[in-house]
Structure 1
């Protein structure tokens, strides 16, 4: 029976080669995202009378529809807790609320959020197909969900969508960072 013998030197060379390969692969993934950014601009309008600002969630899902990154969740929290948060149906069923992205409701207007290629844990994600989601719900008001498939690669794009509800417009701009 013949045994395979690995010398210390050979072991160090192989381990170093493996580590360099893993590091280079990670560096390539970082380089792909290092200079690209997705800006999500959306506008919503207000109602009349005793208007209550809507709850809004903005996030990205992977091609399978699983959450990748929550960019913002705007809601009102009273002494009773976040009463209407579960009305953000799609976001609520598969995401956890974090203080890092949550904040108070906003008045009608135009807002821009950016995605830098990292998931909720801060890890770089691979380029490919994703869904951009903007969900808006207002107490005793409408429910709206914007969900659009985009391919995030090396090709820049600008898309604009005019909508009919309180969520009037969503614009997606994927380009190199300035």
Structure 2
């Protein structure tokens, strides 16, 4: 009994990208995401300098809510990476880039300078493209980055506990 199912034919050089949303993923093309990263991070230039900044740096000037709004806009890149099938370890790295941008960016003046220099959206776009073009090339770097991050978080929580233990020990021995 012959099968009525025809084999799928893909054109050369157009590998099928995994997508978690099906046809809705069409809006998350490299061109659209590159444009978004450009608008958020480097669409303007300070005349006479090589310093570039985008809407992320401008909106970040609004106290309290500016960096949060810019961070929400930056989430589009991370969501697009998830839709396009980027591994979770890379998504975590992208989230850390964004978290640093939002948290440090919330510091008045110094944070705005950090926003302009850090360019989290450009970093996240580069991670997305690198994964899509060469899926396994950078996996060890992501795991190393995550390992360093976990060690830093452990140190952040452990150091105050050690200082507290030392203070209590000193207090009880000098009474």
Q: Which has the higher helix share?
A: 2
- Structure 1 or 2: larger strand share? 1
TM range (shorter): under 0.3
**Structure possessing the higher relative contact order (Cα contacts under 8 Å, 6 or more residues apart):** 1
> What is the TM-score with the length of structure 2 in the denominator?
0.27
